[in-house]
Structure 1
């Protein structure tokens, strides 16, 4: 279980280390709607690829360590760090382009996912302004697969808050 206070602690440590990150996944949706809507098993963070050594050092100072076994897909697309109480961070390195967009490498053969410049926005967790991905990007990520119960809850939260269509 990853609680709101732990999310804010991670963000504060990363900010103090000079790292830019954005919340994605379930916590990203909660940041967009401004309230905790469900329990979260992990925290998805996107970070600047060139800041990765500082990101890792800041998280290690909080007791997190990289887990290499069973992480699929793994690097370069993402990596996982486990912290106190078994909290799991799912980290996604991004390479920013001059126009403000970013690329997430998916594999070593050159495959990449593009994040348009406008998807990097802010939301709120427990009254604290936090960086996250836009509503449109969150909806985009929830397309093309059989939704789990938590995906349906996440999309319902966005639909109820923003009055948007979130069909699967």
Structure 2
């Protein structure tokens, strides 16, 4: 999934008047304002109350194939071209963020989104501290280690 694909999906969701902020690998790219590697999917934090509207907007854009449905935790969709969108529904919180229900019944808190840049466009994305926190508790891949190193180096420069 390339930069223009990401922007097209975000534009569809903006047109649908829903909330979405970029997470995962594209979230790291947005925070750093550069693209360092290929991405197979686009992770988005979305409001659970808007999930029906989001699904309709994504279906209109061709994302109709369900790859993984573990709601209320996550929902992954794909289009005919193989582009994937992985939704992380949250319940809105007073701080402007949201709480995601985890499979074990616990929650993961996303603070309010911060601005980032993808393809010359300003986007909302998950903050650096939350990105780093989300990379804990599971075996890391080379991509994960690279993302952590880039975020850590970027944070040290700030």
Q: Same fold (TM over 0.5)?
A: yes
Over residues 22-62 of structure 1, what are the superposed CA-to-partner deviations in whole Å (9 max), with x where a residue is unaligned? 11000000000001010001110010111111101110111
Q: Could you tell me how far 1:133 is from its partner in structure 2?
A: 0.3
Q: Could you tell me how far 1:74 is from its partner in structure 2?
A: 1.1
Q: Could you tell me how far 1:66 is from its partner in structure 2?
A: 4.1
Cross-structure match for 1:156: 149
Q: Could you tell me how far 1:110 is from its partner in structure 2?
A: 4.2
Structure 1 runs, 4 residues or longer, greater than 6 Å off: none
- SS in structure 2 of the partner of residue 136 of structure 1: helix
1:3 aligned onto 2:2:
yes
- Identify unmatched segments of 5+ residues in structure 2: none
Cross-structure match for 1:18: 17
Which residue, out of 109, 116, 128, partners 1:114? 109
Q: Quick one: distance in 1 between partners of 2:97 and 2:122?
A: 22
TM-score (norm 2): 0.91
Q: Could you tell me how far 1:84 is from its partner in structure 2?
A: 3.5
CA distance 1:161–1:110, change in 2 (3 Å): closer
Bigger mean CA deviation after superposition, 152-161 or 13-22 = 152-161
Q: Quick one: distance in 1 between partners of 2:80 and 2:123?
A: 22
Kept in 2: contact 1:37–1:157 (CA 8 A): no
- Identify unmatched segments of 5+ residues in structure 1: none
Kept in 1: contact 2:32–2:151 (CA 8 A): yes
Over residues 78-132 of structure 1, what are the superposed CA-to-partner deviations in whole Å (9 max), with x where a residue is unaligned? 011111311111101110123434111124x743222234xx1110001100010
Cross-structure match for 1:75: 71
RMSD: 1.7
Q: Quick one: distance in 2 between partners of 1:65 and 1:81?
A: 6
